[in-house]
Amino acid sequence: MKRYFSDMFSIHKWRCSWSLVATIASVLALVSIVHLFLFPLAPSFNYFSQAQNSCAPINVSAEAATNNVRGNLKPTIDLDHQFLADLHNAVVYRGAPWKAEIGRWLAGCDLVTKEVGIVEIIGGNGCKNDCSGQGVCNREFGECQCFHGLTGDDCSERLQLNCNYPGSPEQPFGRWVVSICSAYCDTRTAMCFCGEGTKYPNRPLAEACGFQLNPPSELDGPKLADWTKADLDVFTTNGSKQGWCNVDPVEAYALKVQFKEECDCKYDGLWGQFCEVPVESTCINQCSGHGHCRGGFCQCTNGWYGADCSIPSVVSSIREWPSWLRPARLDVPDNSHLSGKFSNLNAKVAKKRPLIYVYDLPPVFNSQLLEGRHFKLECVNRIYDEKNATIWTDQLYGAQMALYESVLASPYRTLNGEEADFFFVPVLDSCIITRADDAPHLSLQDHMGLRSSLTLDFYKKAYVHIVEKYPYWNRSSGRDHIWFFSWDEGACYAPKEIWNSMMLVHWGNTNSKHKNSTTAYWADNWDKVPSDRRGNHPCFDPDKDLVLPAWKMPDVAALSSKFWTWTREKRKTLFYFNGNLGSAYPHGRPEPSYSMGIRQKLAEEFGSSPNKESKLGKQHAVDVIVTPLRTENYHMDLASSVFCGVLPGDGWSGRMEDSIMQGCIPVVIQDGIFLPYENVLNYDSFAVRIQEDEIPNLIKILRGFNETEIEFKLENVKKVWQRFLYRDSIMLEAERQKTASGRIDDWTAEFLKLIEDDVFTTFVQVLHYKLHNDPWRRHIHLQKEFGLPEECLKRNN
């Protein structure tokens, strides 16, 4: 026999009482009048609803509860006739026009999904020497996850991570990389500091700061660093020279001493011109309130583990468990009181599918990449100022961090891989983009200098790890696994071993027209990656993959202006595009491969700004704007337009998100390439596609739309725009700020007004559809409860 107890109630024969009911009623009354933002301090309404329904004998089994749910499902849904497609072959679900088959299933099945009983596994394994205080113990396996620069089964061994490549007489500091160091190298992180003997030894001495500078090669150009000659003046104590390592911030701010302006505070966790203010670093979910963020790596408090310290162990406090594990009933072995310990516990929790298992990968794939980054703004969606207030970044790659955080904090997350419907593999390739250049220890020289090849290797090693460590991959040949590729060209360089999986990308090149690498950055070119490593797959497969929106910084001014609501009458410009237009324009990208030549063709026809030859486009018109010049009112310029161009940059760009968020009808010009959600949403309802060879006829085509068609598309843009926002991740941060400091920022207030489905909700809806409609699942027979009527399950029979 086993004993059960609840995390909310004392152990009695019955798990409720009149006093409990009275207490719950009082709390519900209180919560109903409290601002939404008390959620971090109080359980959700759904939580109390579940508690009220838990008035049952303590020995009621999860199986009985599941059978009760199953008995309440009545076969009343006729998917084929109840949800008809419109003239655009779309079926609307939660305001958005979906492709008919997908929208039909979601409209009939997604909303009626019932909770099912899931057994969550709470780990209790310990680690050797408690990881020597230099790592986090993964209590599922009893293995240490070591901080940056440390290794060994108890994290007691120190690595040697050099800042520079080996030197030579010609290059005494080694060849140039971003992390090249002229002073003290912290070989734990491969980062450069002023070092001992200076007044401020922990002040960063990064990049050109430590080297002599030569005059610019052209008028108004940047100074050029001489990477062979250290700048010894940065160590000066003479206030009339441009110093750095011994400069007192107070004297510098008072203009009493000089300092080298090329030096600044690049590393995370520090603020001020002279890095004199320690601030919060950026970590995944800021360690979920159960740890300390040390430069990007969560140092979890006792009893918690995971990349964001969100996974409780048997020694954690049940009352502190995350909402996605509550309310729970624990199954405690009867003999636990004899030994005083147990390795694992089972917690029974009611959940809705789809369920996502997140691999707790070794930190080399995520946390260490964050911990060692050399520029605080890279690959994250936020940093913190001197008051630890949130500063949102405009890094488009921040989407990877945002989605990862949402999955980790989601009620759809499960710790039980046997019950999981999908498996999320968190490799932060958005950080590898920059770290490949930052850190010689990543061995880019072993990959022909190609960041694409190096990153492929990261994914391959993650694949090997989960295949060797877990039993889940082989059950579906990886088809139920999810990988995020954030780079400009998407998953082109994915190792062949994982191609069966679902790829999340920002740019869905099917390679039907653009068959080779299109990047203008030679280090990212994947054409040279051997086929025995990459295979011969395309960059994107619309039958299994998904294009997600890029990250866009929360813009309070744009949100409060409600540009997406602007009517047709306010939109005086017919077509608008702003962006780099190539070598024909000042400061334009010189590579002919940039934008695959598409932006250049558009500018040649419709350019509204003079190029280097002072010429406008051949068909320039008053109500058509194609310019490389961005005004201060960029969002208003978009909102003042009917149609907005969505053209590639060096792969994907953020123009789709810009257009949608300002209510402008996107005009997609990139053949064979899928844009965000294009294989699931019905683009014909809110967008226009123009073939590349039709660019000369673009304006004629757009003027051919009648007002009814334009109004129809504008209305649908209004209905889908929030699905291009990472609202969930933003509100997670708002909750953290509210809990930590009581802060409610202006961006919080604006986002609280938004209630429609966002990126993460859309992602989950797509997963739910795929769970019951992916053809390969028809041959996988698992005894699972799905919480759905038979009509929704029949496609898997």
The count of other CB atoms within 10 Å of the CB of residue 604 is: 20
Tell me if 427 sits within 8 A of 366, measured CB to CB: yes
Q: What is the pLDDT of residue 238?
A: 95
Q: Distances in Å between the alpha carbon of 424 and those of 246, 412, 428, 502, 618?
A: 47, 12, 12, 10, 49
CA angle 638, 641, 647 (to 5 degrees): 65
Residue in 503, 507, 508 with CA at minimum distance from that of residue 481: 503
Please give the helix or strand (H or E) that residue 121 lies within, else none.
strand 116-122
C-alpha 473: how far from its chain's center?
A: 23
Q: What is the pLDDT of residue 502?
A: 98
In one letter, which amino acid is 392? W
Q: What is the pLDDT of residue 32?
A: 36
Separation CA 304–CA 317 (nearest Å): 10
pLDDT in tens, 25-59: 343 333 333 333 333 333 333 333 333 333 333 22
Separation CA 296–CA 286 (nearest Å): 9
Three-class SS of residue 137? strand
Segment 231-234 long-range contacts (CB within 8 Å, at least 24 positions apart): 231/182, 231/260, 233/260, 234/194, 234/205, 234/209, 234/210, 234/260, 234/263
Kindly report the three-state secondary structure assignment for every residue of 267-305: CCCEECCCCCEECCCCCHHHHHHCEEEECCEEEECCCEE
Q: Is the peptide bond before 666 cis (omega within 30 degrees of 0)?
A: no
**Strands (E) located in 184-259:** 184-186, 191-193, 211-214, 224-230
> Which tokens in the block code for residue 718?
């209004």
Three-class SS of residue 375? coil
What backbone torsions phi and psi does residue 58 show, to the nearest 5 degrees? -65, -25
Kindly report the three-state secondary structure assignment for every residue of 639-676: HCEEEEEECCECECCCHHHHHHHCCCEEEECCCCEECC
* Dihedral (CA of 85, 88, 94, 95) sign: negative
Three-class SS of residue 424? strand
Separation CA 346–CA 122 (nearest Å): 6
Tell me if 519 sits within 8 A of 489, measured CB to CB: yes
DSSP code string of 558-590: HHHHTGGG--GGG--EEEEEES---TTSTT---
CA angle 186, 190, 196 (to 5 degrees): 20
Question: What distance, in Å, lies between the first and last C-alpha atoms of the chain?
Answer: 37
Q: Which residues, given as ranges, of the chain have pLDDT below 70?
A: 1-75, 332-342, 781, 794-797
Q: What is the pLDDT of residue 686?
A: 98
Three-class SS of residue 348? strand
Separation CA 773–CA 792 (nearest Å): 9
Separation CA 746–CA 730 (nearest Å): 12
What backbone torsions phi and psi does residue 665 show, to the nearest 5 degrees? -70, 115
Tell me if 138 sits within 8 A of 155, measured CB to CB: no
Residue with tokens 């226009």: 688
Tell me if 165 sits within 8 A of 175, measured CB to CB: yes
Tell me if 508 sits within 8 A of 539, measured CB to CB: yes
Residue in 79, 77, 107 with CA at minimum distance from that of residue 91: 107
